[in-house]
Amino acid sequence: MSFAGKTVLVSGSTTGIGEACARVFAASGATVMVSGRNEPRGRAVVAGIVAAGGRAEFAGADLRVPGACESLVATTLERLGGLDVLVNNAGILYTADALQTSDEQWLETMAVNVNAVFYLSRAAVRHMRAAGGGAIVNIASEWGLNGEVNHVAYCASKGAVIQITRCMALDHARDGIRVNSVCPGEIHTRMVDDILAQQGGEPAERLRSLAAGIPMRRLAAPAEVAWCVHFLASGRASYVTGANLPVDGGNDATAGPYP
């Protein structure tokens, strides 16, 4: 499905799933705003897209900073001339139970994973409603659907993303704005490598044992999530709104450990 002439903002697209989203939208003809705190990495993503014949720009943003989300949307509108698709991808994760979670970690998780999704979406909807429509895709998590040991802040934040998705889909269905989420399972990015590193032991062995518990017996590549985001943002999903699509190799289909 072509996104020629469309403009797409992907939060947290300096690496991982966000970078893959930026690449697939650009490969489909969209002009993409790449964003995040790490400017060298963001500029490298843009350079890769441009080298492949696509169009992209970089706008730095630390989404924890008050006003940063509204500024990022304003910058995108100013520099790209519109905003057809918003992908709320930026996210952080602390591994800790409630007693180990500091106030700072709780608040930072909510700031990046929840508040930024709301502020970016609200700013995008202001524009999209006036422009006659648009699409928002939120990157939630299978851990927003189910609980997970030692991840109370992260799971709470991703549950909130799913509810933001449902409520904004209902509120803006008649504005021509579709709002959906994907719930990734185990995707091989820096985030998963960090979790495995905290667990200690041989990283390759940890990866193997993680993969062994997934029905499809493997982790996903970031692009496998990005293509689902691409579908939900596209006209092919024209009657889909308020949905959460698991992209998890079958994890959500099981009630317990997969044999």
Ligand X SMILES: NC(=O)c1ccc[n+]([C@@H]2O[C@H](COP(=O)([O-])OP(=O)(O)OC[C@H]3O[C@@H](n4cnc5c(N)ncnc54)[C@H](OP(=O)(O)O)[C@@H]3O)[C@@H](O)[C@H]2O)c1
Q: Catalytic residue numbers?
A: 154
- Give the interface size with ligand X as a residue count (CB under 6 A): 29
Quick one: 2 or 153, whose CB is closer to ligand X? 153
Query: Which one among 74, 96, 192, 223 touches ligand X, defined by CB under 6 A?
Result: 192
For residue 23, the minimal CB distance to ligand X (Å) is: 13
3-state secondary structure the chain: CCCCCCEEEECCCCCHHHHHHHHHHHHCCCEEEEEECCHHHHHHHHHHHHHCCCEEEEEECCCCCCCHHHHHHHHHHHHHCCCCEEEECCCCCCCECCCCCCHHHHHHHHHHHHHHHHHHHHHHHHHHHHHCCEEEEEECCHHHCCCCCCEHHHHHHHHHHHHHHHHHHHHHHHHCEEEEEEEECCECCHHHHHHHHHHCCCHHHHHHHHHHCCCCCCCECHHHHHHHHHHHHCHHHCCCCCCEEEECCCHHHCCCCCC
Given the rule CB under 6 A, which of 24-32, 33-41, 162-170, 237-245 is the region that contacts ligand X?
33-41
CB burial of residue 10 (10 Å; 0-12, 13-18, 19+): buried
Q: Site for ligand X (CB under 6 A): which residue of 54, 184, 246, 249?
A: 184
Q: Which of residues 212-241 bind ligand X (CB under 6 A)?
A: none
**List 9, 18, 76, 226, residue binding ligand X (CB under 6 A):** 18
64 lines the binding site for ligand X (CB under 6 A): yes
Shortest spacing between CB 131 and ligand X, in angstroms: 25
Q: Which stretch binds ligand X (CB under 6 A): 90-98, 120-128, 129-137, 235-243?
A: 90-98
* Of residues 84 and 186, the one with the C-beta less far from ligand X: 186
Mark residues 106-145: x for contact with ligand X by CB under 6 A, - for none.
Answer: ------x--------------------------x-x----
Nearer to ligand X, 90 or 153 (CB): 90
- Name every residue whose Cβ is closer than 8 Å to that of residue 212 and which is 6 or more positions away in sequence: none
63 near ligand X, rule: CB under 6 A: yes
Q: Which residues bind ligand X (CB under 6 A)?
A: 12-18, 36-38, 41, 61-64, 89-92, 112, 139, 141, 184, 186-187, 189-192
